[in-house]
Amino acid sequence: MIPYGRQDISQADIDAVIQVLQSDFLTQGPMVPKFEYAVASYTGARYALAVNSATSALHIACLALGLGEGDYLWTTPITFVASSNCALYCGAQVDFVDIDPKTYNINPLALREKLKKAKETNTLPKIVVAVHLCGQVCEMDKIHALAQEYGFKVIEDASHAIGGTYQGVPVGACQYSDITVFSFHPVKIITTAEGGMALTNCANLAQKMDLLRSHGITRNPQLMTKQPDGSWYYQQIDLGFNYRMTELQAALGVSQMHRLDEFISRRHLLAERYDSLLADLPVIVPWQHPDSYSGLHLYVIRLSLDKIKRTHKQVFERLRELGVGVNLHYIPVHTQPYYQTLGFKEGSFPEAEKYYTEAISLPMFHTLSFEQQDTVVEALRKALYE
């Protein structure tokens, strides 16, 4: 089976991890700061905090921005559940904004309309999570302008988008947001096995997230309520978690960062190749906004169902039978049973729901060969017509 995504681990990656295993520190050593420095330098963000997953990063990002009971977080329904679950962890409420039918990202026009109404009913969001689906960056300039007008904070869920740029600026620079989050799960662009990172340019937010990822404990006398009792002394000054990244993970991350640009250009080459190989098939290939240079975590096609005699499910299942490990990103979050118990109804976000009935993620990863790609396209042709 050709998977839809997979990691690429080099001998240098393996050596880097073994070196840490033989060193003094398996956790809380020098590699985590080194990885943070590498990602901060690459993106241009002032502060970077490595954690054990993007889910953890989203949680501490929300807490650092003060999200709590009575507050709202808004995001897109076409995302992984973690983008909205982070609000529920904080006791806040979630709402969704429908997607743009061209980019599949949160639609800034729909966002504006919803904000207008929310202002009247006093239910404006405290945070909007902009998810860069497939790596294509959301229209951040428009979202930022709305954030200024309506006074909400912006988190970029850039789990798909490390290595990309927006208006020429690296994703992660937080040019138009308060905090940006990356995921280093093995299917993502670079990996640390499990892992994530939160980036910000705000010293105060960085300090809060630093505390929250490690129990709310500090060894910095300037943050303590009194002089330290002695050199053993630490204080818990907030309620945090153990969301730390290990040294092994960070070493893998540092090593993977060396190949990030190579990974991204390969993904672009593969995407261009797909675009031309699929040109005569009844599918819609990904449209790219000119402001965004995508990280291309995913390559999602939409079936033109009116032009074929097969259903979406038939095409999907046939591809799997033919050895192509296609996937579907994502099931609209508001249709998940857990979200239905919170009161969400099917039919509320029609563009997202329509997308779900047509979308298929084709294999897209650094080591995908042209031969494998040709096999995928041949299989798709069969699945659509035979």
Binding site for ligand PLP (CB under 6 A): 53-55, 79-80, 82-83, 131, 157, 159-160, 183, 185, 196
Which run of H or of E encompasses 273? helix 260-277
State whether residue 50 is helix, strand or coil.
Answer: strand
Least CB distance from residue 168 to ligand PLP, whole Å? 23
Output 53 or 292, the one with its CB closest to ligand PLP.
53
Rounded CA-CA distance 237/266 in Å is 46
Q: Which is nearer to ligand PLP, 131 or 251 (CB)?
A: 131
Smallest separation, CB 254 to ligand PLP (Å):
18
Measured CA to CA in angstroms, residue 48 lies from 51, 61, 266, 331 at distances of 10, 12, 26, 31
Q: How many angstroms separate the CA atoms of 142 and 108, rounded? A: 6
Residue number with CB closer to ligand PLP (190 or 368)? 190
One-letter amino acid of 147: A
Place of tokens 């993970």: 249
154 φ, ψ to 5°?
-125, 125
Least distance CB 182 / ligand PLP (angstroms): 8
Task: Kindly state the smallest distance separating residue 251's Cβ from ligand PLP, in Å.
Answer: 18
Nearer to ligand PLP by Cβ, of 58 and 278: the residue is 58
**In whole angstroms, how close is the CB of 83 to ligand PLP at the nearest point?**
5
Q: Which two tokens stand for residue 216?
A: 């709310």
Closer residue to ligand PLP (CB): 180 or 288: 180
At closest approach, how far in Å is the CB of 183 from ligand PLP? 4
Q: Minimum distance from CB of 78 to ligand PLP (Å)?
A: 9
Q: Which is nearer to ligand PLP, 82 or 281 (CB)?
A: 82
Query: Is residue 123 within 8 Å of residue 72, measured between CB atoms?
Result: yes
DSSP E strands in the chain: the ranges are: 47-51, 72-75, 93-96, 127-131, 153-157, 165-166, 169-170, 179-183, 196-200, 217-218, 235-236, 283-284, 292-293, 299-303, 359-362
Question: Which of 95, 157 has the CB closer to ligand PLP?
Answer: 157
Direct distance between the N- and C-terminal alpha carbons of the chain, in angstroms, rounded to an integer: 20
